[in-house]
Amino acid sequence: MELEQSIMMIIIHSGDARAYAYEALHKVNEGDYEGAEKAMEDADNAIGEAHDIQTSFLQKEAAGEKTEISVLFVHAQDHLMTAISEKNLIKEIILLRKYVNSLAK
């Protein structure tokens, strides 16, 4: 896979992960716990896809093959780290929301 295509795939998978995580949050707010769990699994899978591409860059670097660092590459890394952070925070919010929902019943 060429460099720009790999970078764009990190951005796409990271964006998908964020979208799935927010979908999970909306579903849990509606009481759809199964839907929320499925959406979080989808978020985890999308993060995994992006992380696999990132790892391939790290492995190449460790083997002595330098990667050209561009603004787009930095942008992709930013998207990935933001998606991971938001997914982790949403996971905690979902747990809180489930607890609040149980108290409201």
pLDDT computed for residue 40 by the predictor: 98
Answer whether 0.85 is exceeded by the pTM. yes
Q: What is the pLDDT of residues 46-97, one digit of tens each?
A: 999 999 999 999 999 999 998 888 999 999 999 999 999 999 999 999 999 9
| For residue 101, pLDDT beyond 90 | no
Closest Cα partner for 33 from 22, 42, 25?
25
Encoded tokens for 32: 């759809």
Active-site positions read 75
- Do residues 15 and 87 make contact, with C-beta atoms less than 8 angstroms apart? no
d(CA 96, CA 19): 20
| For residue 26, pLDDT beyond 80 | yes
Q: Is 32 left (phi over 0), alpha (psi -120 to 50) or beta?
A: beta
- State the average pLDDT for the chain: 94
- Do residues 19 and 89 make contact, with C-beta atoms less than 8 angstroms apart? no
Greatest Cα-to-Cα distance within the chain, rounded to the nearest angstrom: 59
pLDDT computed for residue 91 by the predictor: 97
Domains of the chain from N-terminus onward: 3-104 (1.20.58.80)
| For residue 1, pLDDT beyond 70 | no
Answer with the residue of higher pLDDT: 104 or 10.
10
